[in-house]
Amino acid sequence: MQSFEPKIIALVCNWCTYTAADLAGTSRLAYPANVRLVRVMCTGMVDAKYVIKAFLDGADGVFVGGCHPGDCHYINGNLKAERRLSGLQVILAQFGIDSRCFSLKWIGASEGHEFQKNMARFTETVRELGPQMESDLVIL
């Protein structure tokens, strides 16, 4: 059987996790090609609909990476994201989307290694859980 290659959307904060990804790149730290990065200005702008859209359009996992608490460029956007997205996780779980397929982590700008490790770990988790959306849901 062909091994399952998950599609992962990572919504990452411009000021920290995106910079960490950049650092991982310049440091030549490879991370799984399953991850597609989307840069956002702050995790506080990650509305539930972006995550829902990603899953409905075939993502198997969604990762949100923001600044450590206290480090938010906009004071507390990351905490807003945490509050809002924790509820979304509860909702999605009721629709059969495993809550482990949706992760919010804090990765600082200097943590290139941390970024690499998180991406590898998350990709592995999502791979083990398998596809989250029935493939015959073509038109939604």
Give the footprint of other proteins on this chain (CB under 8 A).
47-49, 52-53, 56, 69-70, 76, 79-80, 82-84, 86-88, 90-92, 94-97, 133-134, 136-140
Given the complex with other proteins, which of 63 and 106 has the nearer CB atom?
A: 106
Please state the closest distance from residue 44 (CB atom) to other proteins, in A: 9
Given the complex with other proteins, which of 26 and 137 has the nearer CB atom?
A: 137
Given the complex with other proteins, which of 1 and 137 has the nearer CB atom?
A: 137
Please state the closest distance from residue 71 (CB atom) to other proteins, in A: 11
Given the complex with other proteins, which of 30 and 75 has the nearer CB atom?
A: 75
Strand partners, 62: 9, 102
Please state the closest distance from residue 41 (CB atom) to other proteins, in A: 17
Going edge to edge, which strands form the sheet with 35-40? 35-40, 8-13, 61-66, 102-106
103, 122 in Cβ contact below 8 A?
yes
Given the complex with other proteins, which of 12 and 51 has the nearer CB atom?
A: 51
Q: Per DSSP, which regions of the chain are E strands? A: 8-13, 35-40, 61-66, 102-106
Nearest to 101, CA basis, from 135, 65, 140, 60 = 60
34: helix, strand or coil:
coil
Please state the closest distance from residue 103 (CB atom) to other proteins, in A: 16
Please state the closest distance from residue 88 (CB atom) to other proteins, in A: 5
One-letter amino acid at 129 equals: L
Separation between Cα atoms, residue 60 and residue 7, nearest integer Å: 5
